[in-house]
Every structure is written in C-alpha cells, then in structure tokens.
C-alpha cells in the first residue's frame, strides 16, 4: 500500500500532475469524466463520475442507492497544491560568465532554506496555440531530471549562517538553470528546454507556446526510512498523502445508500479564494446539479446538505522530539498514532464535539486509533479547508489529518502506519450508510 503512495508522490510534483494522476486512476476505476459545460443528464444509483476545474482541482462522485435528499452525502476533501516557487514571466536572468538563473516568486509558505542545495526540476502546465484565440490548449510538463539548483552562500562568506539567516524571497532563492554556450542561447534557454520536453509528447514549435504555469519541484524520489522503515520522507505529504488516502478509499468503496464525494481543491496554500479553491461555489453547483437531476427541486439540495458529513483531510503537526516546548502540554499527536482530529477555539478548524465524536466513532469502528490536536496557546497555528468550505456549504464536518513533521519543508516526515490507518477509516466512512 505504501509503495502506491510513494509512486503517486513521485509522479505528482505539482497540483496539475496530481490532478491528472487522480483522474487517470478514477478512469481506471470505472469513473467517467464529465464536461461541466454539458447538461448533467440523468443520474442513477451506482453512477461514478468526476469533473475537473482549471486542471488543478478534481471532484469525484459515486451516486448512492438513496437520493441525496434522503441519505445526504459523505464527502472527503483535501488539497492538491503545496508550497513551492513559481517561475515568473521573462524569468531568465543572464549573469556573468553566461550563467543563467531564473526569476521566481514564492507560492504558499515553504520553509525556504530546505529548497537549497538539492537538485530541482520544473513541472506544471504549458499553454500552446489551439484552434482559435479563445481556445488555447494545455500540455502538462514534468522534466524528469535534475535541472536546477538553489545554491547556498559558502559559510566562509557568512560565519553566522548557523545562527539563523534571514532570506530574501527575491534575492536568495533564485535557482541556477545553466550556462549558455553561445549568444544564440541567451534568453532562450528555458524555452528551448520546454520545447524539447513537449516534443516528447507531440510536435510543438516555440512560437506556438503562449504561456505557462511552471513551478520548482524536488527531483529526489519519496522513500521510507527508519529502523523498521516506519517513516515516509517526501515533499508534498501536505496534502497529497490525504488526497491519495481519499482516492484509495473512493476506489475501494462500493455503492452504498449514501452518495460518496471526493473533493480535491487547489490553492489551499494561498487562501482558497479562486474558482478552483475551497472558497469557490463550484462544488456546491455540482452537488446542486446532482440533487436537481435526482429530484427536480432545489429543496433536495438543501436537504442533502443538512444530512451530509464532511471529513476535511489536511495534515496535522506530529510531536517533534527536538521541540517538545512548542506543543500543547496535553494534546500532541505522535507519528504512527493514527488520524488526528484538529480543534481550534477560534474556529479555524471545522471540528466540534459533535463532528469529532462522529469521526472518533468511525475510527473505533474501523479498528483505527485516533488522536487530538490543539495548538499550544501561545502559537498561532494554521488554517485549512473545512471552515472555508463551510462558509459556502454549511456542512457538518470534522477537520483532521495525519500527523507529520516539518510541514512545508521540501521534505516532510510522515508515518507508514498512519497512511494505512487513514485509508482504512476513509474507506469505512464511504461504506457507512
């Protein structure tokens, strides 16, 4: 089971690739891709379908035996994006000696120092000329070799480097792309690489490339480590490990009375306020279209929402053996201790005593341990999908996630056992009527 997660992580360096891989696995599992531009048509028990938005979010549905108005829906949501660096337009910066570096901007909140001195590459989507100006076409790109590096300054120039370093997002984190060998390459190095890579898929000329959304990605594969291989080392565990656990559960579940929903949103790391993010009404439109197809009345949708339950799955913070003082004295989840329910008095998390009881009950039924997380009261902490989604769809639900170390590092640490627990409880949640 863990190898499936590791290979998903390796083939999903950014949101676009993650959504493509999830879509492919849904198709292999018998799900039909629907075009949201077309009428939804009739919907019957056992139907499996999915839609994508912006190539970076994906929503899968398995229609229950009972209409949603009667049995509600069981939804797991997670996010496809992770902190990284976005390549700016006109990114090439030609330096002395023909060295070319790339101009980037920060996406989300990475621990920037963890991106230094490791082989990086480019991944994302490239927009190429289509049938007319309003309809360009999209090609995905993942250059599978070490291509770039953000190099540190030698300690000899900065003797205080181990006492903490302030990093500039404009100066310190620009990766080196290469060294030009002739003036002809000046300004064309990046485009040449993109064209070469796209031509492995189909013939594309440089003049047909209109724009791109490209990001930096780690080239080192995900792996397990530890005396018993009990830990996972990978980028993007937050939140691709939760996306994948949800997908495994969706594929393993069968038709139940209740409709099953898997919602993978983009842009959680930048606040979710995009058309493909959790702040968008897109998912509620889809649910409303399903309810209308079943019952021909908007009333059905509102009933479905009232009967629904959401698991908002986003990783939590595991107790760190070097920094015990940062954690709440009585609630600090351990790696390998099972899924974590997240609470926050200021309601940054959707969990309350009712939804937590439901989730803890699901864990108990699945034979899975479960833990609770609350911030140390002097530490601000983060937020996630659940409460943002609840403001557009007033769902009963819980915020949870598996505990990891070094959240937002280029390499996070997770637990093999927790992944297995999570798939188990998600699968039984979908099967639960």
CA 35, CA 289: separation in Å to the nearest integer? Answer: 13
Strands 403-404, 316-317: pairing kind = parallel
Q: Please enumerate in sequence order all residues whose Cβ is within 8 A of that of 210, keeping only pairs 6 or more positions apart, or say none.
A: 127, 128, 129, 136
Query: Residue count at the site for Co ion (CB under 5 A)?
Result: 3
Q: Is 178 left (phi over 0), alpha (psi -120 to 50) or beta?
A: left
Q: How far is the CB of 79 from Co ion (least distance, A)?
A: 6
Q: How far is the CB of 306 from Co ion (least distance, A)?
A: 28
Q: Return the residues of window 208-247 that contact Co ion according to CB under 5 A.
A: 238-239
Nearest C-alpha neighbor of 244 from the set 78, 28, 104: 78
CA 398, CA 390: separation in Å to the nearest integer? Answer: 11
3-state secondary structure of 24: helix
Q: How far is the CB of 273 from Co ion (least distance, A)?
A: 16
**Residue 239: cis peptide before it, omega within 30 degrees of 0:** yes
Which CB atom, from 78 or from 189, has the smaller least distance to Co ion? 78
Q: Please enumerate in sequence order all residues whose Cβ is within 8 A of that of 365, keeping only pairs 6 or more positions apart, or say none.
A: 428, 432
| Sign of torsion over alpha carbons 127, 132, 135, 139 | negative
CA 422, CA 222: separation in Å to the nearest integer? Answer: 19
Which CB atom, from 267 or from 303, has the smaller least distance to Co ion? 267
Q: How far is the CB of 187 from Co ion (least distance, A)?
A: 37
Which CB atom, from 10 or from 399, has the smaller least distance to Co ion? 399
Q: How far is the CB of 118 from Co ion (least distance, A)?
A: 22
Which CB atom, from 209 or from 407, has the smaller least distance to Co ion? 407
Q: Return the residues of window 369-398 that contact Co ion according to CB under 5 A.
A: none
Q: How far is the CB of 433 from Co ion (least distance, A)?
A: 30
Q: Give the residue carrying structure tokens 């791109």.
A: 212
Which CB atom, from 213 or from 314, has the smaller least distance to Co ion? 314
Which CB atom, from 216 or from 237, has the smaller least distance to Co ion? 237
Which DSSP helix (H) or strand (E) runs through 262? strand 259-265
Which CB atom, from 239 or from 248, has the smaller least distance to Co ion? 239
Only one of the segments 108-116, 218-226, 300-308, 312-320 lies at the binding site for Co ion (rule: CB under 5 A); that segment is 312-320
Burial class (CB in 10 A: 0-12, 13-18, 19+), 206: exposed
Q: How far is the CB of 370 from Co ion (least distance, A)?
A: 19
- The DSSP output letter for 228 is T
3-state secondary structure of 126: strand
CA 339, CA 249: separation in Å to the nearest integer? Answer: 15
Which CB atom, from 47 or from 218, has the smaller least distance to Co ion? 218
92 binds Co ion (CB under 5 A): no
Q: How far is the CB of 237 from Co ion (least distance, A)?
A: 9
Q: Which of 92, 314, 399, 412 binds Co ion (CB under 5 A)?
A: 314
Binding mask 270-309 for Co ion (x = CB under 5 A): ----------------------------------------
Catalog residues that contact Co ion under the rule CB under 5 A: 238-239, 314
């Amino acid at each position: 089971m863990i190898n499936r997660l590791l290979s998903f992580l390796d083939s999903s360096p950014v949101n676009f690739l993650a959504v493509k891989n999830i879509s492919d696995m849904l198709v292999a599992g018998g799900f039909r891709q629907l075009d949201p531009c077309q009428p939804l048509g009739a919907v019957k028990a056992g139907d499996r379908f999915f839609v994508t938005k912006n190539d970076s979010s994906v929503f899968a549905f398995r229609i229950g035996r009972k209409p949603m108005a009667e049995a509600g829906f069981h939804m797991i949501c997670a996010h496809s994006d992770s902190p990284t660096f976005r390549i700016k337009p006109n990114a090439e910066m030609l330096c002395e000696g023909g060295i070319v570096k790339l101009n980037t901007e920060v996406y989300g909140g990475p621990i920037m120092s963890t991106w230094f001195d490791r082989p990086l590459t480019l991944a994302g989507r490239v927009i190429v000329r289509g049938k007319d100006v309003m309809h360009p076409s999209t090609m995905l790109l993942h250059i599978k070799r070490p291509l770039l590096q953000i190099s540190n300054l030698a300690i000899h120039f900065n003797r205080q480097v181990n006492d903490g370093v302030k990093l500039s997002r404009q100066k310190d984190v620009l990766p080196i792309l290469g060294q030009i060998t002739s003036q002809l390459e000046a300004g064309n190095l990046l485009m040449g690489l993109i064209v070469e890579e796209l031509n492995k898929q189909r013939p594309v000329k440089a003049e047909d490339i209109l724009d791109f959304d490209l990001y930096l990605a780690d080239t080192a594969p995900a792996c397990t480590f530890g005396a018993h291989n009990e830990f996972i080392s990978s980028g993007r565990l937050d939140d691709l490990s939760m996306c994948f656990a949800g997908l495994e559960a969706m594929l393993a579940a069968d038709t139940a009375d209740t409709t099953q929903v898997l919602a993978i949103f983009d842009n959680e790391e930048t606040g979710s306020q995009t058309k493909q993010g959790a702040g968008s009404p897109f998912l509620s439109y889809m649910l409303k279209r399903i309810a209308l197809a079943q019952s021909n009345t908007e009333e059905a949708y509102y009933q479905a929402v009232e009967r629904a339950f959401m698991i908002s799955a986003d990783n939590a913070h595991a107790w760190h053996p070097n920094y015990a003082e940062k954690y709440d004295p009585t609630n600090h989840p351990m790696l390998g201790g099972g899924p974590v329910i997240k609470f926050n008095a200021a309601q940054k998390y959707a969990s309350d005593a009712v939804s937590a009881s439901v989730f803890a009950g699901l864990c108990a039924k699945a034979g899975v341990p479960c833990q609770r997380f609350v911030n140390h009261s002097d530490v601000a902490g983060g937020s996630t999908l659940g409460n943002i989604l609840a403001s557009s769809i007033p769902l009963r639900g819980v915020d949870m996630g598996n505990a990891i170390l070094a959240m937002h590092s280029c390499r996070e640490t997770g637990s093999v056992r927790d992944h297995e627990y999570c798939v188990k409880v998600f699968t039984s949640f979908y099967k639960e009527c």
